[in-house]
Amino acid sequence: MPNSLKEQEKQKGSWKQNPEAVQRDILRIATEEFSKNGLSGARIDEIAAKTKTSKRMIYYYFGDKETLYTRALEAAYAKVREGERKLDLADLPPDQALGRLVAFTFDHHRRNPDFIRMVMIENVHHAEYLAQSKVLRDVNVTAIDRLADIIARGEASGLFRPGLNATELHWQISALSFFNVSNKPTFSALYGGELYTRNGQQALRDNAVEMILSYVRAPVDHSK
Amino acid sequence: MPNSLKEQEKQKGSWKQNPEAVQRDILRIATEEFSKNGLSGARIDEIAAKTKTSKRMIYYYFGDKETLYTRALEAAYAKVREGERKLDLADLPPDQALGRLVAFTFDHHRRNPDFIRMVMIENVHHAEYLAQSKVLRDVNVTAIDRLADIIARGEASGLFRPGLNATELHWQISALSFFNVSNKPTFSALYGGELYTRNGQQALRDNAVEMILSYVRAPVDHSK
DNA sequence: ACAACTTTGAACTAGATAGTTAATTATAAT
DNA sequence: ATTATAATTAACTATCTAGTTCAAAGTTGT
């Protein structure tokens, strides 16, 4: 019987050293598993089985389960915030910039359900691991800075009402974009999947853009 | 040495039968523990220790951990939807009714973090337990019905724009109210606690009301 | 009085699971 | 060549934890 592929791969202990790749591999699988099953739900043996390497190496590089989870959480944040940097809004007029930011955020969250689930899980854990991570504080302020810039330009041009708060606005955009992904399972189970069809999602996104834009624009007197 | 209180309480096996109370007690503690630690994070022994009764009785009445979790989830939904029934909006003009509904929902979610956490946890589990529960489907449609009524009255009076969708509107109100509680830990950790002070929460609530109201009102032409 | 149900309490089991040990081999940099 | 680091493999341990069993006794409705 000729050598199977597996035998060829594992042939007589020959391998390359590549610490970064091994750690990336572990981290990728760990993110999948934690995101799918939660911190206590995920199994180290299961993670090990799905990596190209072994359980031993997980402990070699990460020490324990909680550290692995923290690293996976950090990596998820970093990856998502990295994806956001592609967006350049500085050249657009403030209302268009904001509309595009909302639409982008909505889509971006939708494309990264694993990240959303990591954040959900971290919230279930009262953010105790995130709170201990020094890495994470810095990555996230950029989101606020970008909004502050748009607000400043909007107010200066008179397009936006005065007194807007960047953190509040970020909260509102996040709420609409995050909930859409985080609560899809229960919402669909209770009210059907209409909002999660292609058309349903497009409507929710357009509505989100509209809600945010009409919120920031100088208010119109409804009393007359 | 005289009888201690403990000895008096447990005196010579004499007790009242009260199956409902025992089950309620178990369910109350179970909700606390599941809500705090998640399904796999919660410990049956811990739940048992905090009840007035024993682990044996948990299995006597609920069979296994997953059933206990499902019952706790059902009870949490029932309790919260019950609390919502106090609200009577039929006599108010539609825009006031809607504004009051949004403000109420925002506050109501805030007052019931355990419920929110149960729903978060259920979403982490892809709503698999909720999906199997027959009880839960029915309890939740009333929320939609109430909104459909407000929309109908609003459209008829010309106060609201045509074409509003009750499920979409419910989604929007839920998103703003739910996210506020569910993501408080990570949001505070990343951006500070300003939005979760008394003033911050009041602002978020007022903004939510305003966002929803300006969204449903007949649109104003901004182009002129 | 009888039977069905409820409650107590504690010890026990079987399996799962995070983390370890140890012996060994290969690689890469100097 | 030497040495530190990277990688492999597999068995092992200690603990935790869901769920069970056993033996008994009190309660309640009929």
Distance (Å, whole) CA B177 – CA B205: 8
Chain B hits for A94, Cβ within 8 Å: none
Q: For position A222, what pLDDT does the model report?
A: 54
How far B51 CA lies from chain A's nearest CA (Å)? 23
Q: For position B1, what pLDDT does the model report?
A: 34
Q: Considering chain A, what is the average pLDDT of its residues?
A: 89
Q: For position B6, what pLDDT does the model report?
A: 33
Tell whether B164 and B208 lie within a shared domain: yes
Under 8 Å between Cβ of B118 and B28? no
Cα separation of the two ends of chain B: 90
DSSP structural state of residue A146 = H
Q: What is the residue whose two structure tokens read 């209409």?
A: A194
Write the CATH number for B104.
1.10.357.10
Name the domain count of chain A: 2
Question: A39, A137, A182: best mutation site toward chain B, by most B Cβ within 10 Å?
Answer: A182
Tell whether B123 and B175 lie within a shared domain: yes
Q: Check B207 against A172: CB less than 8 A apart.
A: yes
Tell whether B99 and B162 lie within a shared domain: yes
Tell whether B57 and B72 lie within a shared domain: no
DSSP structural state of residue B159 = S
Distance (Å, whole) CA A117 – CA B124: 7
Rounded to two decimals, the pTM is 0.91
Chain B hits for A99, Cβ within 8 Å: none
> CB of B1 within 8 Å of any CB in chain A?
no
Q: How many CA atoms lie within 13 A of B196 on its CB side?
A: 16
Cβ burial A139-177 (10 Å sphere, 16+ → b, else e): bbeebbebbbebbebbbeeebbeeebbbbbbbbbbbbbb
Whether A124 is in a domain gets the answer: yes
Residue with CA nearest C1' of nucleotide D6: A17
Distance (Å, whole) CA B61 – CA B73: 16
Select from B192, B199, B177, B44 the least CA-distant residue to B111: B177
Q: For position B15, what pLDDT does the model report?
A: 67
- Mean per-residue pLDDT for A134-141? 78
Residue A31, domain extent: 2-63
Under 8 Å between Cβ of B36 and B117? yes
Distance (Å, whole) CA A6 – CA B127: 39
- Mean per-residue pLDDT for A47-66? 94
Whether A18 is in a domain gets the answer: yes
Report chain B (224 residues): mean pLDDT per 10 consecutive residues: 34 66 95 97 96 94 96 94 88 96 97 98 97 82 91 96 96 98 97 96 97 86 52
Q: For position B139, what pLDDT does the model report?
A: 74
- Tokens encoding A157: 């041009």
Q: Check B176 against A180: CB less than 8 A apart.
A: no
